[in-house]
Structure 1
């Protein structure tokens, strides 16, 4: 009998990409599929057709030195817990058979080798070798990352752009970001990240076996995004200059960071801060098939001693002092990943907090999570995976302390400030979704405050204080805008039937979002006379020339201290706010008829609202729209004037895509941004 020979193996790339929801990876040199779903393989046999009575076909699946061998059988019930292979019964052609290779829903993530072997009665064997990449599968019910809603799978797996939220809860800044998970080289960098981990270098076989578990994968990735303990992707920096790297505020997407890291031989990219760490981790998790979203916690507490209390110190004239290792970041950004948690018991499945920003060590490594959001809400500080750390970040109390000559002269407690708003990008929409109720008990006053602040009007009260029968309220008259004075009002209420003379101290300091304030930007001092039961409004303003000094991610810490001239009692109110800059406008011609492979035109416009001329470098990018970036020099734009730049681009992928532009100003550290969402149709 003539020997059975494998003449050709066809991995049916187009059909498999479509059935496995991996069309975005079509530029990958290796087929990308998802576990728990059949992989179709077509064979061309040489010589004679397959004889079921005498011939055998075997498939060997290899991951590193681990492997499994399965015989190709005729259709039978498929097990979701083991590798198996069968002939496709539809139109079975024994000369050109199609095989369905079934991976278990708990198979390890990685790049696999595929060896097909054919044997006949003579004992001779022929073989053919191929490769494929296997990812997690949120479309498969048996997979630990299964998420039951299609719109969420599209948002948290397929969406390659999004919004990051920064600023303050009363003046939120929406920052466009390109996740780039489908851009050339990004998936390969994500898989290489798993290969250079300490766990893999120490014991490859054990690491491969553990890669079936999203809990393990997410924790490893959380550690590898920062470079504190390993050959991680990003080096963090929060102080000093960035001349030997890139200012974190200038990154516009994850692709440049991941491909630069891989091309450099896995040397850390300089530099990152919390939103960059989180956005890059989101890219890696989406690429690996684990649903992921970026989350911002406004007024995020960093509790260094674990007592769930943050102490803030002020001088008697309202200047904030740097006296505590604890801190409150105006915003902090982490990620949530969706998975089941059989290791922790019932009720803890779903969204899990992971924080790749290096703040505290967890089991000796700079990483955090996965901490179930449900456990944070229930304050289950008895649980592992850094649940207590996240609980403090969203629920710590704040003690505001006024000191004079080393003595505490006033202390007040705020139980609502920390975690004032927790949010992410809404599914399918370019706006925020309020998650505060997912982290805090429904009956908590903070959850009500969060809802109010997420829709805060320009005249909403920001801060209050009271002491000795005097109440103090501090409010912004409107959201601060660059080039305009910062207008605010101090409201003082005498609640006693006795006249009072009060010293008034106002102090505004520039601060970075994650540090205590630095120099004083503006101050004002005076005396206020209050009749019995009198209410007085004191309008104030910080001149526009001073507010323009607040650029990038800097904020203003504003504090008011009242001192009773008779009793010397003090009352403090304070708030931190950001100053919004201008935005770039993007107009796309024929916006409703953008299709793949057809050249399009757009215009980017900058309007100068400042009182001085500005110039800079304009960059335009868009995953699936532009290969790389376009750069243009923008010459000086006079106050009150506008400048426009016309660009052309040719979309390469279909679906919702983000075209984004950024203008790096020459004379400051500020970057002006803008974006436009486009729907790209098929050609």
Structure 2
């Protein structure tokens, strides 16, 4: 037996899999031929008497293919051919083509030569087959080259967090071409319960991206299987890594594989989604990470979220329903032959373990078109995702155990749904794909005058407005507008309350409050300027958000009105400067400088982590010594690019007892 020559360089280039050059097998895409050569050591190939057959095997499945001299064969079947023009009899080439509907996985093949039906020689080879977004016959075909480059090939991305009115972007390294990541992604399929229960049927179903995506969605979390990530929203991350510390998928997938498939601790929604995005891109299925702001978790399916506040504006934990300031899932592009052609395109998949789907913690694929059209009768999990972007919010003020004020907000949930733009480090708004919106600006008006009717009654109203986006180290300034809608004077009690909160949970204890009396004349409106000083919030906010609430109480009637604003306090980005930025060259050492200026009112110190897929192997860590308020520190780093194209160099500074400061720089790497 001999090994075939897999013609690695040519095939990787042809199949757009050059990033997998370090893989232990040839990586190709279905629907397109790849070439292998047969080194004929015993004797030359004789086209008149020698016949060739190829046996391709995936686990217990196999197919035997005769090698012809014609390139024409049905694209729906396996094919193999030789090109008679320029045939090298000492090293003949055979082209093998998988159908566009072939199953994804690791294949072996045998190439047998017969001379008048007698075996003469046998060649062996291996290849990994992926989906093919460049092939029109493939169910993941996407017709735009810039989108194929972004949603399959791009090994970095941006994740969007914070609030709809104060969006924060976080760099993330997809790492799909980093060492051992491809193997780990294939093992996500092999370790799944479906594969362990019935390998043959699992291999058969792997031709369908709908099936693959549901398996991966369930396997990214570990709730029902030996999945990749263990979630943690408790605030205690002992025994693992804080979810905010991760900067890329590679470390997580490698750790999972190297541990014998024990779950990696810990993940939260953006980590789950980003890791799933990596796995799907590796498997050849176009994928992007999507953020839904003010995402509803409707536990009883009534499309209503209930929230309760005390009479002084403190938010209470008294319901299983919740609104996450942001929730992150993925979209994958595929045809939906199971639903009919009108549901093709982007599909929502959510690996964060929130609700069971057919008994398993996974979600989707739910067609984005079905969500917009409220087709809650379609597969999979359309009603749950529909509620996440469309639920109404019923808000109540409670005093001495009874509700004293109620309000309904029909626009708060899902005001902004976004993803990274293709080919650009910008946000792309996809809200209109999910829901009908009135105007480009109506979805972001929760703090504007237009929301007054939802923040008040026919007698009085309150509107909270941030004067500008809060930045760490600066005074948080906001304005409370109080309105008397009656033609009689009023005396009002004004209660202001600020609490920290994680993006997915109820707020913690109050860290700032203010109580006052204000007199309003008939039909009068007053603007009350307020501020929260850095020393009052720096020790508690960190990466958390702030829930700011105002309750107005009519002293005479005890009628109450509530206004709420949630926001994040943005930390300044690390600055990254590339020396000779226009001359970054493959395999040549380059230099960069990372700069941090302390915005806080107290000295800080921490650990700087620098990474970049295709730029650095692994991570570089540096200790940053204490910096006084307003002081700046620099760290010089070197890196050697290993891949061409646009790459992301990212840095994160974990400050002691503070939030993490991040920054990134896109680097264009060229050949010599």
| TM, length-normalised to structure 2 | 0.98
Name which of 296, 314, 331 aligns with 2:326: 331
Distance 1:437 1:339, change over 3 A: same
Report the counterpart of residue 3 of structure 1 in structure 2.
Answer: none
Counterpart contact for 1:437–1:447, Cα < 8 Å: no
**Contact 2:365/2:379, CA 8 A, preserved across alignment:** no
Partner Cα distance (2:606, 2:661) in 1: 10
Does the alignment pair 1:32 with 2:22? no
Counterpart of 2:395 in structure 1 is 400
Match of 1:264 among 259, 277, 280: 259
Q: Report the counterpart of residue 636 of structure 1 in structure 2.
A: 626
Are 1:530 and 2:523 counterparts?
A: no
Structure 1 gaps of 5+ residues are 1-5
> 2:580: which partner in 1?
590
* Residue 51 of structure 1, CA deviation: 3.2
Q: Tell me, in whole angstroms, the C-alpha distance in 2 between the residues paired with 1:488 and 1:8.
A: 71
Q: Is the 2:161–2:326 contact (alpha carbons within 8 Å) kept by the matching residues of 1? A: yes
Taking a change above 3 Å as real, the CA distance of residues 301 and 122 of structure 1, as seen in their structure-2 partners, is closer
1:680 corresponds to: 669
Cα deviation 1:413-436 (Å, max 9, x = unaligned): 100000010000001111100000
Q: Does 1:170 find its partner at 2:165? A: yes
Is the contact between residue 468 and residue 569 of structure 1 (CA under 8 Å) also seen in structure 2?
A: no
Say which SS state the counterpart of residue 342 (structure 2) adopts. coil
Q: CA 1:657–1:462 in 2, change beyond 3 Å: closer, same or farther? A: farther
Aligned residue for 1:199, secondary structure, equals helix
Structure 1 residue 56 corresponds to structure 2 residue 63:
no
Taking the aligned partners of 1:377 and 1:345, their CA distance within structure 2 comes to 16
CA deviations on 1:284-309 (whole Å, 9 max, x unpaired) are 00000000000000000000000000
Match of 2:83 among 80, 88, 106: 88
- 1:46, CA displacement in angstroms? 3.4
Please tell me whether residue 103 in structure 1 is matched to residue 98 in structure 2. yes
User: Could you tell me how far apart the structure 2 residues matched to 1:23 and 1:41 are?
Assistant: 17
Provide the secondary structure at the position in 1 that maps to 2:277: helix
Cα deviation per residue 1:54-79 (whole Å; 9 max; x = unaligned)?
Answer: 32111010000110000101114221
**Contact 1:467-1:569 at 8 Å conserved across structures:** no
| Separation of aligned partners in 1, 2:514 and 2:321 | 28
Give the 3 Å change call, closer, same or farther, for CA 7–393 of structure 1 in structure 2: closer
Counterpart in the other structure of 1:307: 302
SS of alignment partner, residue 96 of structure 2: strand
Equivalent positions of 1:331-480 (< 5 A) are 331-441=326-436, 444-445=437-438, 448-450=441-443, 465-480=455-470
Q: Counterpart in 2 of 1:248?
A: 243
1:128 CA drift (Å)? 1.6
Counterpart selection for 1:115 from 110, 115, 122: 110
Q: For residues 162 and 60 of structure 2, what CA distance do their matches in structure 1 show?
A: 49
SS across alignment from 1:275: helix
Residue ranges of structure 2 left out of the alignment (5+ in a row) = none
1:212 aligns with 2:202: no
Question: 2:570 is paired with a residue of what secondary structure?
Answer: coil
Task: For residue 208 of structure 1, give the secondary structure of its aligned residue in structure 2.
Answer: helix
- Separation in 1 of the partners of 2:539 and 2:491? 35
Check 1:122–1:487 CA distance in 2 against 1; reply closer, same or farther (3 A cut). closer
Secondary structure of the equivalent of 1:10?
coil
Residue number in structure 1 paired with 2:598: 608
**Structure 1 residue 550: Cα displacement:** 4.0
| CA distance in structure 1 between the partners assigned to 2:582 and 2:85 by the alignment | 41
User: Are residues 384 and 264 of structure 1, via their aligned partners in 2, closer, same or farther at CA, if it must alter by over 3 Å?
Assistant: same
SS in structure 1 of the partner of residue 203 of structure 2:
helix
The alpha-carbon deviation at position 468 of structure 1 amounts to 4.1
Residues 139 and 146 of structure 1 are in contact (CA less than 8 Å); yes or no, is this contact kept in structure 2? Answer: yes
Instruction: Give the whole-Å Cα distance in 1 for the aligned partners of 2:270 and 2:35.
Output: 40
Query: Which residue matches 1:494?
Result: 484
C-alpha distance in 1 between matches for 2:102 and 2:595: 50
> Following the alignment from structure 2 to structure 1, what is the Cα–Cα distance between the partners of residues 514 and 181?
53
Distance 1:88 1:122, change over 3 A: closer
| Cα deviation digits, residues 391-439 of structure 1 (max 9, x gap) | 0000000000111122111111100000010000001111100000000
CA distance in 1, matches of 2:600, 2:235: 27
Q: Is contact 2:627-2:633 (8 Å) kept?
A: yes
Please give the per-residue CA displacement for 1:433-458, whole angstroms capped at 9, x wherever unaligned: 000000002xx4486423668xx9xx
Q: Which residue does 1:140 correspond to in 2?
A: 135
Number of aligned residue pairs: give it: 671
Contact conserved, 1:483 with 1:547, CA < 8 A, in 2? Answer: no
Deviation string, structure 1 residues 608-646 (Cα, Å, up to 9, x no partner): 011110001111100000001111111101111100010
Alignment of 1:617 with 2:607, yes or no, is yes
Query: What secondary structure does 1:194 align onto?
Result: helix
Please, which moves more after superposition, 268-277 or 40-49? 40-49
* Greater mean deviation of Cα atoms: 592-601 or 51-60: 51-60
Q: Is the 8 Å Cα contact of residues 393 and 419 (structure 1) preserved in structure 2?
A: yes
Which is worse superposed, 92-101 or 266-275? 92-101
Give the drift of 1:533.
1.4
Q: Distance in 1 between matches of 2:119 and 2:144?
A: 50
- Mapped to 2, the partners of 1:363 and 1:582 lie a distance apart of 44
Report deviation, 1:122.
6.5
Q: 659-668 or 232-241, which moves further after superposition?
A: 659-668
Give me the whole-angstrom Cα distance separating, in 1, the residues matched to 2:17 and 2:470.
44
Aligned ranges 1:499-578 → 2 under 5 Å = 499-578=489-568
Q: Does 1:23 align with 2:18?
A: yes
Q: Once superposed, what is the RMSD of the aligned Cα atoms?
A: 1.5
| Alpha-carbon distance in 2 for matches of 1:467, 1:192 | 58
The answer to whether the 8 Å contact 1:420/1:446 transfers is no
Aligned to 2:653: 663
Partners of 2:650 and 2:12 lie apart in 1 by 28
The answer to whether the Cα contact below 8 Å between 1:171 and 1:577 also exists between their aligned partners in 2 is yes
SS at match of 2:138: coil
For 1:651 and 1:55, how far apart are their aligned partners in 2?
Answer: 47
Q: Secondary structure at the match of 1:46?
A: coil
- What's 1:282 paired with? 277
Q: Using the alignment, how far apart are the partners of 2:2 and 2:606 within structure 1?
A: 60
